[in-house]
């Protein structure tokens, strides 16, 4: 097991298996290009190790050119192919072998094919060390394939995760742990805090309260806490990027957790999208948004009762309480729609005995 940029990867394909696959690709290319002088076009950066081994096995004369392209950001494909080092060689009427590290969606292959047509090549072939048939969406033929693999994210042997892992001599795949990540919502007085305590114990989850995270970072004068305080002192809202960085740091403290309960975040669509992106980087996702549903009049009654013992001024003023409830619904309505589109929104009756409500919540979580 190795860790790169906070993510864990487990060994998947050994160096011996890789070299055997390259041997087979080399045999096929030597057969097809015997007595010819092809141009090998190496797609950087990922194909450099594959190209080095493959070219050392080519038995004839050849020319070598390079082009640099990318279509990934972190562990996810951007869907867009960017060219960083353009093709400048004259390939008109030449026979070309394109050396790729991996073919998944086929977007890069489509771009290269367009280049070959524009360049007027006589014939071209695609040689890829890896091919993900389950992800491939194009109709272009991949002529030489070292290994067909599932649609897992892999690193090593030229492939990287945010710059790391290219130098590894074996292939490692992202360790995906099924995590139960919950966005827990409930209006003031719904008992969200109480239920979060029960759920984190029952399912061995980590409870992340945005308020607690802010207080910890500010109290301990962390870099993010100091930055957040600078906005607060000016009466400004703390940018979402600061909040998400704090949450990311909290998630990184327990990478082997069974999951997280996010309490107080997200509150806007932009924050929900940022949370999705954060969890995707960690190889997981939000499993559900669960909202405790309680009638307004019951909430007001509960909070007024609590105000008699809590000493909190905002629990003693009915007008303030009703405004807090209104703000909650205004915020939740937006997020409800966001998660409903993903079939991840669950409303749970929050009226009754504590254990009854816990049972209702558990019945939702157990089906995730």
Clarify whether 68 is annotated catalytic: no
CATH number at residue 65: 3.40.50.2020
Residue owning tokens 């937006």: 334
Percent of the chain residues past pLDDT 90, beyond the cut: 70
pLDDT band at 87 (very low <50, low <70, confident <90, very high): confident
367 assigned to a ligand binding site: no
156 assigned to a ligand binding site: no
Average pLDDT, the chain: 90
More confident residue, 184 or 84: 184
Residue 287 has pLDDT above 70, yes or no: yes
Domain that holds residue 121: 2-174
Same domain, 218 and 333: yes
Looking at 145, 174, 203, the residue that finishes a domain is 174
pLDDT band at 81 (very low <50, low <70, confident <90, very high): low
pLDDT of 83: 64
Clarify whether 324 is annotated catalytic: yes
Among residues 202, 219, 312, 326, which one is catalytic?
312
Clarify whether 267 is annotated catalytic: yes
Among residues 94, 200, 267, 282, which one is catalytic?
267
pLDDT band at 256 (very low <50, low <70, confident <90, very high): confident
Same domain, 139 and 91: yes
* 109 touches 103 (CB < 8 A): yes
Among residues 166, 306, 344, 360, which one is catalytic?
306
User: How distant, in Å, are the alpha carbons of 196, 266, 346 from that of 334?
Assistant: 22, 11, 14
57 assigned to a ligand binding site: no
pLDDT digits (tens, 9 = 90+) for 150-177: 988 999 999 999 899 999 999 999 876 6
CA-to-CA distance for 116 and 226, rounded, in angstroms? 53
pLDDT of 78: 53
End-to-end CA distance of the chain: give it in Å, rounded: 28
Residue 255 has pLDDT above 90, yes or no: no
pTM, rounded to two decimals? 0.55
125 assigned to a ligand binding site: no
pLDDT band at 205 (very low <50, low <70, confident <90, very high): very high
Clarify whether 166 is annotated catalytic: no
pLDDT of 77: 53
pLDDT of 69: 79
* 276 touches 342 (CB < 8 A): no
Helix axes 240-253, 210-219, angle to 10 degrees: 90
188 assigned to a ligand binding site: no
pLDDT digits (tens, 9 = 90+) for 226-240: 999 999 999 898 999
120 assigned to a ligand binding site: no
User: How distant, in Å, are the alpha carbons of 100, 161, 175, 267, 276 from that of 284?
Assistant: 28, 16, 10, 20, 9
For the beta sheet containing 286-293, the strands, ordered from the edge strand earlier in sequence to the opposite edge, are 206-209, 260-263, 181-185, 286-293, 345-349
pLDDT band at 84 (very low <50, low <70, confident <90, very high): low
Same domain, 131 and 251: no
The DSSP secondary-structure symbol of 221 reads: T
Residue 224 has pLDDT above 80, yes or no: yes
Same domain, 195 and 322: yes
pLDDT band at 353 (very low <50, low <70, confident <90, very high): very high
pLDDT of 80: 60
Residue range 97-109: mean pLDDT, rounded: 93
CA-to-CA distance for 193 and 154, rounded, in angstroms? 39
Same domain, 235 and 150: no
Looking at 147, 174, 201, the residue that finishes a domain is 174
pLDDT of 74: 53
Residue owning tokens 């980087």: 281
238 assigned to a ligand binding site: yes
Among residues 68, 324, 336, 360, which one is catalytic?
324
pLDDT band at 12 (very low <50, low <70, confident <90, very high): very high
Same domain, 162 and 189: no
Same domain, 95 and 166: yes
**Per the structure block, which two tokens stand in for 116?**
């070959």
Among residues 49, 192, 200, 282, which one is catalytic?
192
Nearest to 20 by CA among 45, 61, 74, 57: 57
The number of distinct structural domains making up the chain is 2
pLDDT of 310: 73
Is residue 185 reached through a cis peptide bond, with omega within 30 degrees of 0 on the bond before it?
A: no
Same domain, 294 and 167: no
Residue 76 has pLDDT above 90, yes or no: no
In degrees, to the nearest 5, what angle opens at C-alpha 328 toward C-alphas 325 and 333?
125
* 353 touches 273 (CB < 8 A): no
Same domain, 115 and 192: no
Clarify whether 31 is annotated catalytic: no
More confident residue, 2 or 61: 61
Burial class for 67, CB neighbours closer than 10 Å (0-12, 13-18, 19+): buried
pLDDT band at 354 (very low <50, low <70, confident <90, very high): very high
Same domain, 197 and 92: no
Same domain, 153 and 202: no
CATH number at residue 202: 3.40.50.300
Same domain, 353 and 216: yes
Residue 319 has pLDDT above 60, yes or no: yes
Looking at 125, 151, 174, the residue that finishes a domain is 174
pLDDT of 52: 97
């Amino acid at each position: 097991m190795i860790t790169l940029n906070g993510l864990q990867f487990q060994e998947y394909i050994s160096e011996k298996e890789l070299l055997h696959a390259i041997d087979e690709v080399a045999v096929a290319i030597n057969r097809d290009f015997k007595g010819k002088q092809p141009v090998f076009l190496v797609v950087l950066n990922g194909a450099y190790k594959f190209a080095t081994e493959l070219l050392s096995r080519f038995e004839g004369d050849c020319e070598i050119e390079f082009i640099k392209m990318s279509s990934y950001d972190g562990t996810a494909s951007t869907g867009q192919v960017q060219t960083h080092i353009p093709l400048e060689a004259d390939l008109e009427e030449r026979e070309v072998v394109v050396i790729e590290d991996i073919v998944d969606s086929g977007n890069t292959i489509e771009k290269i094919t367009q280049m070959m047509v524009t360049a007027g090549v006589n014939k071209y072939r695609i040689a890829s060390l890896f091919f993900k048939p389950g992800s491939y969406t194009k109709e272009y033929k991949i002529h030489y394939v070292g290994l067909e693999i599932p649609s897992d994210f892999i690193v090593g042997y030229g492939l990287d995760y945010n710059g790391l892992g290219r130098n590894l001599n074996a292939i490692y795949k992202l360790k995906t742990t099924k995590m139960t990540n919950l966005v827990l919502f409930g209006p003031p007085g719904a008992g969200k805090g109480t239920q979060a305590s029960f759920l984190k114990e029952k399912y061995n989850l980590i409870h992340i309260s945005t308020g607690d995270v802010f207080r910890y970072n500010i109290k301990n004068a962390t870099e993010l806490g100091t930055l957040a305080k600078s906005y607060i002192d000016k009466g400004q809202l703390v940018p979402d990027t600061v909040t998400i960085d704090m949450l990311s740091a909290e998630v990184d403290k327990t990478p082997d957790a069974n999951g997280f309960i996010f309490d107080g975040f997200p509150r806007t669509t932009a924050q929900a999208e940022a949370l999705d992106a954060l969890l995707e980087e960690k190889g997981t996702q939000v499993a559900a948004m669960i909202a405790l549903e309680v009638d307004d009049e019951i909430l007001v009654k509960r909070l007024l009762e609590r105000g008699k013992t809590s000493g909190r001024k905002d629990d003693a003023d009915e007008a303030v309480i009703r405004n807090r409830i209104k703000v909650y619904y205004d915020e939740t309505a937006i997020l409800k729609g966001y998660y409903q589109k993903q079939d991840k929104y669950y409303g749970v009756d929050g009226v009754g005995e504590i254990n009854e409500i816990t049972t209702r919540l558990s019945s939702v979580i157990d089906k995730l």
